[in-house]
Structure 1
Amino acid sequence: MSDAHALADSFGRIHNYVRISVTERCNLSCEYCRPDQAGAASSPEPLSFDEIASVVAVLADMGVTKVRLTGGEPLVRPRLEELVARLHAVSGIERIGLTTNGMLLAAKARVLREAGLTDVNISLDSLQPERFARITGGGDVGKVLHAIGSSLDAGFQRVKVNMVVMQGVNDDEIESFLQLTLKYPLDIRFIEYMPIGRGTKGWQTGYMPLGGILERCTKAGWAFEPVSSADPGHGAALGHGLTMDTSDSGPARYYRIEGAAGQFGLIDPVSKHFCMTCNRLRITASGHIKPCLYWNDEWNVRPFIGKSEQLKQLFLRSLEHKPGRHEMPDGLTESGSPRPLQENTVRQMSQIGG
């Protein structure tokens, strides 16, 4: 990789991680992801496996080492393990992750691991069957719990469980999720509810900062300590003097309860934005680069697939326009009442790739 092709933006952030959506389709309708099911019947043709592999090869040549496959629900895309195997064969790619709702994962976990998948993130917003079905639009929590067990058995390097915390909806289950770390070698990650796309009406009502979770641990009598990453990132771009943590932990701040088999993480993009350590790009299923999840700027890769140098220049050009930060907190005033948001992406989370 030459310095001219290093994936650094104007703030010196180096991008070694790409999230690629393989489909907008999903078998659930989570209220914060695709609340009105927009695009469910008219999703554009996604990038082919050949096109995705070609793009990843170019990105690997620019310093990308980690790929995460997202959706929609990526496992509704047939033969996803074939794509995983192809990406595993790309020189320079060290980790391949999957973000899934878990509904179809149990039967696929082992074959995906054998194909080269290293990490799996499983969405789970409630342990209560009726509540889970309501949040997800009909999901079966039993299938997700089975998927978590199957993933542990398959031997993934990391199994992460993502809970979007929503005030008055599932925040009374935080302690139950923390208890999972006591017995199982899981990363339980609490994520703040984010105002993304058109489905943001009522977001302020459900939003809850994560600052109180450590206090809940203390009240429960659990001693805990921070967990430092053993996987340091690539550092800063030369000449910018910016220290970055581009580790596998990503934006989560991790803690471990004394004696626990697993750990828990806090991902709080609204109350404590981590934009200046952002190391990721996103590519939508339709083939559009999104340098930032929040903003509307996009660049279409399709016309440049198979033209390596032009595609590299497109990625560099997209990063030139990446802002220093998002403006999610501007959706709240000090009293928590809404005020107009800055213009943000028109896509819903399922159309970007969560």
Structure 2
Amino acid sequence: MSQLQDNFGRKFHYLRMSVTDVCNFKCSYCLPDGYRPDGKPGFLSLDEISHLVGAFAEAGTRKVRITGGEPTLRKDFSDIIRVIADTKTINTIACTTNGYRLEKHAREWFDAGLRRINVSVDSLDPRMFYQITGENRFDEVMRGVNAALEAGFERVKINAVLLKNLNDQDLPRFLHWIKHTPLDLRFIELMETGLGRDYFQAHHLPGSSIRDRLLAEGWSLDPRGAEDGPAQNFSHPDYQGRIGLIMPYEKHFCDSCNRLRVSARGKLHLCLFTEGGLELRDLLQSAEQRPELIARLERQLLLKRETHLLHQGFTGVTQHLASIGG
């Protein structure tokens, strides 16, 4: 049983760990002006990552997702996977990527211990893909998705942010894609961040509208598993793939929260939309600091709010999703 629990009975067994803020894409809803360095990188070292994951594992963490920025930009990305895979009691290692290196490295990462991968594909129209991401890499990313399927990953998911008046017409294409392909589609409702209020107002598409359409077309809501997070998952007897909806503006969205976030510079974030982060890096210098680090985590969790305040327009200090790993 996890030692990491808040005042509302929620247990946290899932760590989303950013390893870099850097991204080579310029997605309009995240980094519209591209990555802008803020002084020296100073991202967690491999040893610091090892101490961090070891402490979380001892405190009950069973799943680690490597995020960014674009995590595969790190030259030691395969080594990061191996460090996590060598950590006892971690039984699931996942990664979220824009997919641009996936074609060449899918097998290498699988062999290192990566088992689940989410690839961001916001449109199946190459022109719209370019408009949203700022990169003309659609074919390259799609070859990467195929390489991941061939490498034998337990689960390959496609992340897409459907945007009103941009790529919202892509839904039929996505559905056609997964009819005979065993992919999990994950539609993520656009969230307002500190940099994107005007963009949010222009392009926010409620996830409930997608859900209503799926139900009308014969999709069924799957029973929620004991360790499931806030996604609502749907299946259809005529489709090999499945669909998940992330709807942060839905009532009770936060009830099933099971994840904690650590930024690439070693700060703990209790929520994607948080006022600030708690420094952990001073306790990531040796294995002997592990008890103190776990105690700090447990104390901080007692401050976690019951829910985010997105409905009130409060986005915390998060200027863009790349800053703490989305």
Q: TM-score, normalised by structure 2?
A: 0.94
- Looking at structure 2, the residues matched to 43 and 199 of structure 1 have their Cα atoms a distance apart, in angstroms, of 26
The counterpart of 2:218, out of the listed 209, 216, 223, is 223
Instruction: Say whether the 8 Å CA contact 2:29–2:199 is kept in structure 1.
Output: no
Q: Deviations over 1:245-281 (max 9, x none)?
A: x23xx32211122221111111111234511110100
Asked whether 1:321 is paired with 2:303, we answer yes
SS at match of 1:125: coil
Aligned residues: 323
Q: Deviations over 1:67-91 (max 9, x none)?
A: 0000000010013111111111101
- Looking at structure 1, the residues matched to 97 and 271 of structure 2 have their Cα atoms a distance apart, in angstroms, of 21
SS at match of 1:131: helix
Deviation at 1:33, TM superposition (A): 1.2
The counterpart of 1:85, out of the listed 79, 82, 85, is 82
- Matched to 1:31, the amino acid is S
Q: Give 1:277's aligned residue.
A: 256
Instruction: Say whether the 8 Å CA contact 1:299–1:314 is kept in structure 2.
Output: no
Q: Deviations over 1:52-101 (max 9, x none)?
A: 11111011000000000000000100131111111111011000000001
Q: Give 1:6's aligned residue.
A: 3
- Matched to 1:195, the amino acid is E
Deviation at 1:287, TM superposition (A): 0.7
- Looking at structure 1, the residues matched to 39 and 125 of structure 2 have their Cα atoms a distance apart, in angstroms, of 32
C-alpha root-mean-square deviation of aligned residues, in Å? 1.8
Deviation at 1:31, TM superposition (A): 1.1
Q: Give 2:129's aligned residue.
A: 132
SS at match of 1:303: helix
- Looking at structure 2, the residues matched to 202 and 7 of structure 1 have their Cα atoms a distance apart, in angstroms, of 36
The counterpart of 1:295, out of the listed 260, 274, 298, is 274
Structure 1 runs, 4 residues or longer, greater than 6 Å off = none
SS at match of 2:268: strand
- Aligned runs of 1:13-162 on 2, under 5 Å? 13-37=10-34, 39-40=36-37, 42=39, 44-162=41-159
Deviation at 1:138, TM superposition (A): 1.7
Higher normalized helix content (fraction of residues):
2
Deviation at 1:343, TM superposition (A): 5.6
Q: TM-score, normalised by structure 1?
A: 0.87
Instruction: Say whether the 8 Å CA contact 1:28–1:139 is kept in structure 2.
Output: no
- Looking at structure 1, the residues matched to 315 and 238 of structure 2 have their Cα atoms a distance apart, in angstroms, of 46
- Matched to 2:295, the amino acid is Q
Q: Give 1:179's aligned residue.
A: 176
Q: 1:270 to 1:64 in 2, by over 3 A?
A: same
Deviation at 1:328, TM superposition (A): 1.4
SS at match of 1:46: coil
Percent identical residues: 36
